[in-house]
Amino acid sequence: MPYLKITTNVPVTDPQSLMLLSEFSKLMAQQTGKPERYVMIELMENKAMLFAGTNGPLAYLECKSIGLTETQAKSISAAISKALKENLQINGDRIYIEFSNCPGEFWGWNGSTFG
């Protein structure tokens, strides 16, 4: 159920991409308390993007999950910002994260929903 889409203007190599996907998958499972088998991560890199009028390293993320709380959103924001700084040298003030709490009955999986 947790879904994290990472869009950045930073180029990422294939080996680095696999490492990042794995790291963020574990991060989302840990932060949301959901089994990693339900976590989906998408990475879109090397995109043409501007933030504050400049094209320095930046990222926009969409974080969606069933039952996402305000406390979790703050914790996830801190963890994501730290991971992006360490791995892609993106400063926290160049990251936007959109959080969405989706009701289980509106999240489909395996031919049904979680509601």
DSSP state of 10: S
Tens-digit pLDDT profile for residues 21-50: 999 999 999 999 999 999 999 999 999 999
Give dist(CA 57, CA 50) in Å, integer: 9
Q: Which residues of 63-100 are buried (b: 16+ CB within 10 A; e: fewer)?
A: bbbbebeeebbeebbeebbebbeeebebeeebbebebe
Whether 35 is catalytic is no
CATH superfamily for 3-113 is Macrophage Migration Inhibitory Factor (3.30.429.10)
Give dist(CA 88, CA 107) in Å, integer: 31
- pLDDT above 90: residue 51: yes
**CB-CB contact of 109 with 65 (8 Å):** no
Task: Out of 2, 11, 57, 103, pick the active-site residue.
Answer: 2
In 10 A of CB 58, how many CB atoms? 23
Tens-digit pLDDT profile for residues 76-104: 999 999 999 999 999 999 999 999 999 99
- pLDDT above 90: residue 14: yes
Angle of helix 70-88 relative to helix 14-32, nearest 10 degrees, comes to 160
Residue 115: the pLDDT is 87
